[in-house]
Amino acid sequence: MSTLLDVDNISRWTLNHFKELEGLLPDLIPLIRWFQISSKDFWRKVSQFEQILPKQLYKFKRWAALVIRKKIFWSSIRD
């Protein structure tokens, strides 16, 4: 980005800042380990950028959260 922005306070961002980030995302998204981001952090920090992120990302994150919950559930029953 042309200027360093506070991602914890995107209320100060302009439309141009979002458009610039949106232009960078296609190169960056494959490099991010989405499965290592907790659901809590994802919804707290990433979801504010929902309009410029691919819709498949949200489907993947919901699916991953369900799989993890099922694994925890079934492992607790077996113990």
Q: Where are the domains of the chain?
A: 10-78
Predicted TM-score (pTM) of the model is: 0.57
Name the pLDDT band for 67 (thresholds 50, 70, 90): low
**CA 74 to centroid of chain Cα atoms:** 27
**pLDDT tens profile 33-46:** 877 888 788 778 88
**pLDDT tens profile 9-65:** 788 888 898 888 889 888 888 888 877 888 788 778 887 888 888 877 777 666 666
What distance in Å separates the CA atoms of residue 25 and residue 58, rounded to the nearest whole number?
15
Question: What pLDDT score was predicted for residue 32?
Answer: 84
